[in-house]
Amino acid sequence: MAIVIHNGTHTTVAGFSQVDMPQVVCSSSYMKRADESLEFELDALLEGPESPIFTIMNPEGVPYDWEALEKQWRWIVETKLGSKLEETPLVITVAPDLPQEAKSQYLDVALRRLKVPVFQMVVEPLAVALSLGRNTALVVDIGAAKATVTPIIDGSVVSSAAIRSRFAGDFLDFQVYEMLKHQIESDESLPKDPSYAAWHNSRTWIQEFKAYMLQISPSKLQEMDSATVDILGMNSIKKFLYKKQKTISLTQKQCCSITEGIFQPSAASPQFSKDEGLSDIVAKSVKKAGASSTQASSASNVASAEQIHTALLTSIVITGSSSLIAGLEQRVVNDLSYQFPQYKLSSFANPLVLDRKLQSWHGGVTMANLPSWDLGDWISRKDHESNAT
């Protein structure tokens, strides 16, 4: 039985490939305890004591703290799952554009340092698409540090057309904090250490605020006239109880203004680029995928680009926990239908909250459970050792 680990920039999900639900959901950030051990357990981190928080993954979803990653995997496999590393096949999910150097580092940690017998790195969006039974899809993943758009055609990632932006969950945490900071600054209980405070706020009240209050306008907020705002009920008030201390009231329109930056970063701050909005990068990725197909095949260029556009636009898969914000899927589809008026659009987002949150891990599980070993890209410790010598 293999163990599957998904290291997101925000959350790490892990468990056995034969079990439906993961046994471990922990933080991808950690703190150092007095005895030099690293703490990854969510509840323990929330409890404190307050101390600086470090991250394992960089904003592109590639580890930059390999030592901590090794310790985290050891803790997951041995302590949490009670398995022996030397006896357990390991599958991990990785970014579509993982640099070669990071690939070698992953192999080194898994096969040489932790001594797992066989190891597989699966490309996260490809695994997500295949686990949903699609071998052609446009995977739009809105996570914490990043939103990633990856076209997949006939079971292969079109890496030249994969696009990423930093306008996702962490960006929203900042927007929420900025909007509410004047109302909560009198709260003496807020942590003081800057990295711990940011981490703690985003895992407690900001997380709740995002889940209950945030919503996304169906089209550009500033272009909506007052009659439409009225019809959509966006003047009605939503209330949020901050830490059982204080009620914060906002109109639905104000709630939409917090999330508008995901679609129009320049609306949040003029320093952000105009064309890095979510729908912009989705459209760009579709066009690039079409263009890359025309480079590959010389003869019937136009038709093949159009076929790619059609195939991707009828199979838009929306995933990542930040995609749970109400109205996100609809907004992406609405914006794309302006950009691609001649195409039929069809999107899928898992309606079950937990399934959507665990989608990447489930993708890894699907790849771990392929009916035959040769279908997966397994690398054995022995092969790795003999290649290294």
Interface residues with ligand ATP (CB under 6 A) are 8-11, 61, 141, 143-146, 169-170, 207, 210-211, 214, 320-322, 324-325, 357, 360
- The smaller minimum CB distance to ligand ATP, of residues 210 and 381, is found at 210
Q: Which is nearer to ligand ATP, 207 or 301 (CB)?
A: 207
Which CB, 73 or 378, lies closer to ligand ATP?
73
Cα(322)–Cα(341) distance, integer angstroms: 27
State residue 238 phi and psi, 5-degree precision. -115, 145
Q: How far apart are CA 368 and CA 378, in angstroms?
A: 9
Q: Which residues pair with 119 in a beta bridge?
A: 90, 379
Between 162 and 308, name the residue whose CB sits nearer to ligand ATP. Answer: 162
Torsion of CA 281, 283, 288, 289, to 10 degrees: 110
C-beta closer to ligand ATP: residue 5 or 379? 5
Nearest CB to ligand ATP, comparing residues 118 and 121: 121
CB of 41 to ligand ATP, least distance (A): 16
The answer to whether the beta carbons of residues 120 and 375 sit under 8 Å apart is: no
Residue 6 CB, nearest approach to ligand ATP (Å): 7
Minimum CB separation of residue 47 from ligand ATP in Å reads: 20
Query: How many other CB atoms sit within 10 Å of the CB of residue 133?
Result: 8
Q: How far is the CB of 223 from ligand ATP (least distance, A)?
A: 24
Kindly tell me which of 51 and 207 has the beta carbon lying closer to ligand ATP.
207
Closest separation in Å from C-beta 27 to ligand ATP: 9
The edge-to-edge listing of strands for the beta sheet with 54-55 is: 38-39, 29-32, 54-55
- Note whether 11 and 24 are within 8 A (CB): no
Shortest spacing between CB 8 and ligand ATP, in angstroms: 2
Say if residue 216 is exposed, middle or buried (CB neighbours under 10 Å; 0-12, 13-18, 19+).
buried
Q: How far apart are CA 223 and CA 242, in angstroms?
A: 31
Are 360 and 123 contacting, i.e. CB atoms less than 8 angstroms apart?
Answer: no
Q: Which is nearer to ligand ATP, 207 or 304 (CB)?
A: 207
For residue 93, the minimal CB distance to ligand ATP (Å) is: 9
How many whole angstroms separate alpha carbon 171 and alpha carbon 209?
A: 14
User: Which of helix, strand or coil describes residue 185?
Assistant: coil
Bond preceding residue 49 cis, omega within 30 of 0: yes
CB of 371 to ligand ATP, least distance (A): 27
